[in-house]
């Protein structure tokens, strides 16, 4: 990779914004092989967050540091997933995604939805191929669960994606102490009203993982299996 090419800025690619890298997964990009770049830092503090060390930690690697690994995975991996933390917090992400596209990778963004302008900028430049958008909570529980007030930005991100033509999914991590069935039904209704046409994925909080706020055990079971309504398909995974 020529990191001094006209398309990218070598100074932003040298910033240590990356916490770590997962070299291979078949779980994170639908039907594709990928690696995951974990960006440090987040503007939320979700009670159930599994990645406290990434959220609270400092970046340890730059894109330049991992470029040799990525070069070696050209034509072996289909895609690179940008996750975190919140990858869209980093100004370097624009140049990083350009560099990944120059290398021939599909790019997936995992985002909490708090940076709609960055998301829009990447979409307008045709730089992303798939997005996973977190829907953290109803508007009335958003601050309690995320310790932040980015609900309006989440809705803005959803509207941008709805109008973009980019493949994307909306997902919610559910913990029984934080979201009840009525909350989840309300969130599904919100997605429907805002024009979301895709599948709404629910994923159960993993009781055996360390988390940021230690919310205790979650007990959801079969009641989440069949919640599809209003023509919105809901899948519990």
Instruction: Report the nearest approach of ligand SF4 to the CB of residue 52 (Å).
Output: 8
DSSP code of residue 48: T
Contact status, residue 75 vs residue 115, Cβ threshold 8 Å? no
**Crossing angle of the two packed helices 93-102 and 116-124, in degrees rounded to 10:** 30
Q: Which member of 28, 78, 86, 129 binds ligand SF4 (CB under 6 A)?
A: 86
**Minimum CB separation from ligand SF4 for residue 55, in Å?**
5
Candidate segments 23-31, 81-89, 182-190, 199-207, binder of ligand SF4 by CB under 6 A: 81-89
Q: Does position 107 bind ligand SF4 by CB under 6 A?
A: no
Among 84, 175, 234, 236, binds ligand SF4 (CB under 6 A): 84
Q: Look-up: residue for tokens 């980015």?
A: 150
Q: For residues 173 and 196, give the distance between their C-alpha atoms in angstroms, rounded to a whole number.
A: 18
Binding mask 10-49 for ligand SF4 (x = CB under 6 A): --------------------------------x-xxx--x
In the complex, what is the shortest distance from the CB of residue 4 to ligand SF4, in angstroms, rounded to a whole number? 32
Which residue in 59, 85, 116, 215 binds ligand SF4 (CB under 6 A)? 85
φ/ψ region of 85 (left if φ > 0, alpha if ψ in -120 to 50, else beta) reads left
Least distance between ligand SF4 and beta carbon 236 (Å): 19
**Any idea how long the chain is?**
237
Query: Is the Cβ of residue 49 or residue 128 nearer to ligand SF4 in the bound state?
Result: 49
Tell me: does residue 112 bind ligand SF4 (CB under 6 A): yes
What CA–CA distance (Å, rounded) separates 76 from 111? Answer: 25
Alpha helices in the chain (DSSP H): 10-13, 52-56, 63-73, 93-102, 116-124, 142-146, 151-162, 181-193
Total binding residues for ligand SF4 by CB under 6 A? 11
Residues with Cβ within 8 Å of 207's Cβ and at least 6 positions away in sequence, in order, are 217, 218
Nearer residue to ligand SF4 within complex by CB, 57 or 198: 57
Binding site for ligand SF4 (CB under 6 A): 42, 44-46, 49, 51, 55, 84-86, 112
């Amino acid at each position: 990779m020529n990191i001094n090419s006209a398309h990218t800025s070598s100074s932003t690619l040298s910033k240590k914004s990356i916490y770590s890298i997962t070299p291979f997964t078949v779980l994170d990009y639908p039907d594709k092989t990928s690696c995951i770049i974990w960006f440090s830092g987040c503007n939320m503090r979700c009670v159930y967050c599994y990645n406290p060390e990434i959220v609270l930690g400092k970046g340890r690697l730059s894109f330049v540091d991992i470029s040799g690994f990525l070069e070696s995975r050209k034509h072996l991996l289909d895609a690179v997933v940008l996750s975190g933390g919140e990858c869209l917090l980093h100004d370097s992400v624009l140049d990083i995604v350009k560099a990944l596209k120059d290398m021939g990778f599909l790019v997936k963004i995992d985002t909490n939805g708090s940076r709609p302008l960055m998301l829009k900028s990447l979409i307008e430049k045709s730089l992303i191929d798939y997005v996973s958008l977190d829907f953290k909570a109803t508007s009335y529980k958003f601050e309690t669960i995320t310790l932040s007030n980015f609900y309006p930005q989440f809705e803005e991100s959803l509207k941008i994606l709805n109008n973009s033509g980019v493949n994307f999914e909306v997902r919610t991590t559910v913990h029984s102490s934080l979201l009840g069935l009525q909350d989840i039904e309300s969130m599904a209704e919100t997605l429907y009203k805002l024009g979301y046409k895709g599948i709404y994925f629910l994923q159960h909080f993993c009781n055996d993982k360390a988390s940021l706020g230690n919310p205790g055990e979650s007990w959801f079971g079969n009641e989440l299996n069949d919640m599809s309504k209003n023509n919105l398909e809901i899948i519990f995974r």
